[in-house]
A and B are shown apart, each in its own frame.
Chain A
Amino acid sequence: MIGVGKIKQYSNVLERPLSKGKQEVSLSAFAFLFSELVQYNQTQVDNIAELERRLEDAGYAVGARVLELFCHREKGNRRETRLLGILSFVHSTIWKVLFGKVADSLEKGTEHEDEYMISEKELLVNRFISIPKDMGAFNCGAFVAGIVRGVLDNAGFPAVVTAHFVPVEGQQRPRTTILIKFAEEVLAREARLG
C-alpha cells in the first residue's frame, strides 16, 4: 500500500489505533500458513477426530477475537442478542470481512429445531486442500467451524459446530456445510423472548 507510514511504537497494544481491517495479504501466504497449521497438528494426534478438535480449538481462538474486534469496529460496541441476528451477523458481516464474500447460504435444519447450516461451495481454507483417501471424512473446515463456535459462544450462544462435506450434483468437489447445533438454553431463551 502506498503511503503507509512506519509503524509507531506504543507502550500498550490497546493504545494502538484500530486498523480499518482493509489490509490484505496474498491468499498464498494464508494458504501456506494454514497448511503448516494443519501439518503441525497432524503430528500431535492419533486420529481424525482429535485432529478436527485441535483445528477447531485454533479456530475458536480466532472467533473469540473476531467477535470482539468486529463488535467494536462494525457495530459500535453493540452485539446481536437474538438467534437470527447473530446468525446473520456470522453469515454476512463476519464472512464478508474474513473471506471477502457473504456465505453462499444460511438455512435452518429441517429435522431439528436447534440446527442451522451455513454452506459454502468452496470454503477458503479448503481451496488448496485435498484429503487423502485414508483420512475419510476429515474436513479442514473444522477450523472455520471453530471460528463460528468462537463467535457464537462468546456472544452468549453456546453451540456445537461441525464442518461436513456435502456432495453437490454435477460438481466435482463437494461443498462444505458448517452445522450449528445450539445448546438447549439458547432456544429456551429465544422462546422466552418471543
Chain B
Amino acid sequence: MPTAGPRSGDAIFASVERVNAELFTLTYGATVRQLLTDLEEVEEVNKQLDQMGYNIGIRLIDEFLAKSNISRCVDFKETADVIAKVGLKMFLGVNATVTNWDAEGTCCSIVLEDNPLVDFVELPDTCQGLHYCNILSGVIRGALEMVSMKTEVTWLRDMLRGDDSFELQVKLLKQVPEEYPYKDDE
C-alpha cells in the first residue's frame, strides 16, 4: 500500500466501519448506571470511568497510529491539535477545537462541539458530582502515556453540569524519554 502523508480525521472516519451512535450512547449509559449501582459513591464512579478510559486509551493508540499515518509530533501543540482534529474525529465522529494555551505551551483546552456520550442524559440531584464523560479523559491520558507523555486530563466545563460546552483541560506533566534499545521480550 502506498504510504501517503497523514490522513485527515474526516477521511479516516469516512473509511472505517461505523455503528449507530445511539447504540453507543445507550451502552455507555448502561455502563455508567451499572457503576453507580455497584459502587454507590459518585467519586468512585468517576475513578472507575477514568480507569476504563485509560484501559481503552492504551490500546486505542495502536489503531490510531496505524490508521492515521501520523508521525511524531514536533511539540505538544501539534499533539493537542492531532487529538482534536484527528483522534476525536476518527473514533467518535465529533469536531473539537483547541484553545486556552498557557505561555509555556504545556497546557490547553480541548472544546468539544458535539458529544455522543451525553445524548438523552440528565444528571439527577444525587449525581451532581459525577463526571459523566470521565471515560473520555481517561482515553486521552492513556493514549498519550503510550507515546511517552504523562498528562493530567480534567473536565473544566460540562454541559450536564450546566456549562455552555464541554471543555477538557490537557496538561503535559512530563515527557518520558523513550528507552533504547527497546526491550520487547527479555
Residue numbers of A with Cβ under 8 A of B are 1, 4, 6-7, 9, 12-13, 19, 21, 23-30, 32-37, 39-41, 44, 54, 57-59, 61-62, 65-66, 69, 97-100, 124, 143
Contact = CB atoms under 8 A, between A and B. Distances in A.
Contact of A27 (B18, B27, B33, B115): B18
Given A12-B122, A13-B122, A62-B27, A26 B52 contact: no
Contacts of A65: 26, 29, 120
Interface string B80-111: 00000000001111010000000000000000
B31 A13 contact: no
Interface in B14-49: 16-24, 26-31, 33-35, 38, 48
Given A26-B90, A28-B60, A32-B59, A62 B30 contact: yes
Given A1-B93, A32-B56, A36-B52, A57 B34 contact: yes
Chain B interface main SS type: helix
A27 B19 CA distance: 5
B73 to A, nearest CB: 21
A61 B29 contact: yes
Interface of B: 13, 16-24, 26-31, 33-35, 38, 48, 52, 55-56, 59-60, 63, 90-93, 95, 113-116, 119-122, 135, 159, 164-165
B93 A39 contact: no
Contacts of B120: 13, 65, 69
Given A7-B114, A9-B164, A36-B52, A26 B30 contact: no
B23 to A, nearest CB: 5
Contacts of A13: 120-122
Given A25-B19, A26-B16, 8 more contacts: A4-B95, A23-B116, A25-B21, A25-B93, A26-B13, A27-B16, A36-B31, A98-B22
Nearest to A58: B30
Given A7-B159, A34-B27, A28 B91 contact: yes
B114 A97 contact: no
A124 B17 CA distance: 11
A37 B92 contact: no
28 contacts: A7-B113, A7-B114, A7-B165, A13-B121, A21-B22, A23-B20, A24-B18, A25-B19, A25-B116, A30-B23, A30-B24, A33-B56, A34-B27, A36-B31, A36-B56, A36-B135, A39-B55, A40-B34, A58-B31, A59-B30, A61-B26, A62-B30, A69-B22, A69-B120, A97-B20, A97-B22, A98-B23, A100-B19
